[in-house]
Amino acid sequence: MAEKLRKQEPFDSLVGVSRGGLVLTRIMSDLLEVDDVNIIKCEYYSGLGRTKARPVITQSIRSDIAGKRVLVIDDVADTGNSLQTIGEYLESKKAKSLRVATLYVKPWSKAMPHYYVSTTSAWIIFPWELHESLKLLSTGKFKASLSSTHIPRKYAKMLFKIDDQLARLKSS
């Protein structure tokens, strides 16, 4: 993705979507050589596969992006509702241009990123959210959570084994 982005107009500022886009934003900051990095948080998911009524921005960007070429970075465009909310907010800040990059986009997303790596309808657990996902899946609502994500039970069991091993390493 970085190679594709370098061929586009240069960006003056990156806006990482907390929390899924934070790791990617840090990496892209290095690869695109953009030091002006902002963080925005938009809360929409209330659990695995469950959303609130509407997305709400709970952390605004802290610097002025007026007149800048801005790239918003997130891990996945799922429903697209969060990216739409973030886009409306950032447009009000008068950026010169506003583009969105994600690793994945779901076919049903209402917001199509300008740049993305692949389309998928699968539920994705990224390496940086493994612990959070395992924690949610291990609650008493395991079966309901698992079925809403379409993660096959055999893979969930493998993830739990990894989590158990990590927990043992931490305690030793």
- pLDDT tens by residue, 46-67: 655 566 678 889 999 999 999 9
Give 39: exposed, middle or buried? Use CB within 10 Å, 0-12, 13-18, 19+: middle
The model scores a pTM over 0.85? no
CA 91 to chain centre: 19
- Rounded percentage of the chain residues whose pLDDT exceeds 70: 76
- Residue 92: pLDDT above 90? yes
Q: Domain boundaries in the chain?
A: 2-123, 125-172
- Residue 145: pLDDT above 60? no
CATH entry 3.40.50.2020 includes domain 2-123: yes
